[in-house]
Amino acid sequence: MRSDREADGAGYGVGRVGRAVSLGTAALMYCVMVGLQFAPDGWQTPSVVVSVPALVSMAFRPPMIVASAVLAVGTRWAFVPDEPGRVGAAVGTTGVIAIIAALGIYLVHRREQAATHLVEISSVAEAAQRAILRPPPPVVGPFRTAAAYRAAAQYARVGGDLYAVADTAFGIRALIGDVRGKGLDAVATAAVILGSFHEAAQDHARLADLADRMDTSLRRHLSDSEAFGTAFLVEIAADGTAHGLSCGHPPPLVLRGTTVTEIPVSPRPPLGLSGLVPLPAEDPAPAVRLRPGDTLLLYTDGLTEARAADGSFYPLLPRLTARLESHPDGPDPAPLLAWLHRDARAFATGGADDDAALLALAWPPDPAHPRKLGYPGSPDPAHPRKLGYPGPAPL
């Protein structure tokens, strides 16, 4: 299948605007030349027609270049009767037009070859990257899932950030992570973390044991003793009870109605650093009870570290709260993730040079209980901190 860029007609990187500018400029030059030819002052500028195929060749394919060359040659010879003794000049202009048209066709051919080659390479790279960072299943248990990724490298689909979801005998388990560094090394490291998660998530009953297994796999892979990856693991039981474990990664957010809260976590060192940093004494964080209508949002710091021109960071909590208040989304979390990326990109006038990954698990509201989310009276075993406000606030 031909790519959109190939279908543009002039090779890689030329779109409708480029074609319009090229054709408009060529038409303007042609009209000016013809107008001056008929001017009362007797301007003689028929040789300017050589610019017409040159301009057309910048944005169009060979048929258009040949047509413009034929028009230019015909116009040049049409003015020969008004220029006695300049037949030789017309012959020379015709030769120049032919050379320009031939050179333009050759350059377009080479440009399209390069475009086709790049499309083929991009297709292979995209397939490989999608094999590494597989999209989550659209539905896992009672949750609808969605993921969104913005790679720092232009034309890349995947960088050093990662996410995964697995339905296991111990509950639904989700992973979000961020690998130190960029480029192919970061992608390779992310692949190791993802591979170890998918393999071990089904075998270990405790999140701490799963994190240990992932840490061991990563340390076997790393050749740089200072390389590491942050990760957050969350496990959701069938009744909605969620446990979180942070390996140096910011905790996810629970979106309930118009409130945004952070789930409590058990902190650990980043993956790959357990040999340098002793593991803390195990202190499981209190569980959070998710309810129908809740959305669990996992993210990487590429989102929150997007900067405005004044150096301020993207205010995730205020922006997210305002979004929930003004645009209550349905059970499909994909629109929310798309909005977050757009909003962060618009905010980051000072630059956003890091990968950003988002993963959301949305529990559709129970139609049998249409009460407004956030109603009081349902006991919760945990009271995570409500970001941006002092004091504890129960979910």
Range name among 37-46, 131-140, 203-212, 227-236 with the lowest pLDDT average: 37-46
Distance CA 151, CA 129 (A): 11
Cβ atoms of 158 and 178 within 8 Å: the answer is: no
Distance CA 266, CA 276 (A): 19
Query: Residues 130-139: what's their mean pLDDT?
Result: 83
Instruction: Report pTM.
Output: 0.65
pLDDT band at 5 (very low <50, low <70, confident <90, very high): very low
Q: Which fold has domain 134-362?
A: Phosphatase 2c; domain 1 (3.60.40)
Range name among 19-23, 145-149, 155-159 with the lowest pLDDT average: 155-159
Distance CA 112, CA 107 (A): 9
Reply yes or no on whether the pLDDT at 356 is more than 60: yes
Q: State whether the Cα torsion 313-317-318-322 is positive or negative.
A: positive
Looking at the chain, the number of H-run helices and the number of E-run strands are: 10, 12
Report pLDDT digits (tens) over 286-324.
Answer: 889 999 999 999 999 888 888 888 888 999 999 999 998
Residue of 133 and 192 predicted with greater confidence: 192
Residue 255, pLDDT score: 94
Query: Residues 120-129: what's their mean pLDDT?
Result: 70
Residue 30, pLDDT score: 83
Distance CA 18, CA 14 (A): 6
Distance CA 62, CA 101 (A): 8
**Over the range 46-57, which residues count as b (16 or more CB within 10 Å of their CB) and which as e?**
bbbbbbbbbbbb
Report pLDDT digits (tens) over 175-186.
Answer: 999 988 766 777
Residue of 82 and 335 predicted with greater confidence: 335
Residue of 154 and 14 predicted with greater confidence: 14
Distance CA 306, CA 49 (A): 51
Residue of 368 and 326 predicted with greater confidence: 326
What letter would DSSP give residue 352? -
Query: Residues 21-47: what's their mean pLDDT?
Result: 75
At 372, is the secondary structure helix, strand, or coil?
Answer: coil
Average model confidence (pLDDT) across the chain: 79
Residue of 13 and 53 predicted with greater confidence: 53
Percent of the chain with pLDDT over 70: 76
**CATH 3.60.40.10 residue spans of the chain:** 134-362
Residue 361, pLDDT score: 96
Task: Look up residue 361 and give its two tokens.
Answer: 């698990």
Task: Look up residue 50 and give its two tokens.
Answer: 């050589």
Query: Residues 188-204: what's their mean pLDDT?
Result: 90
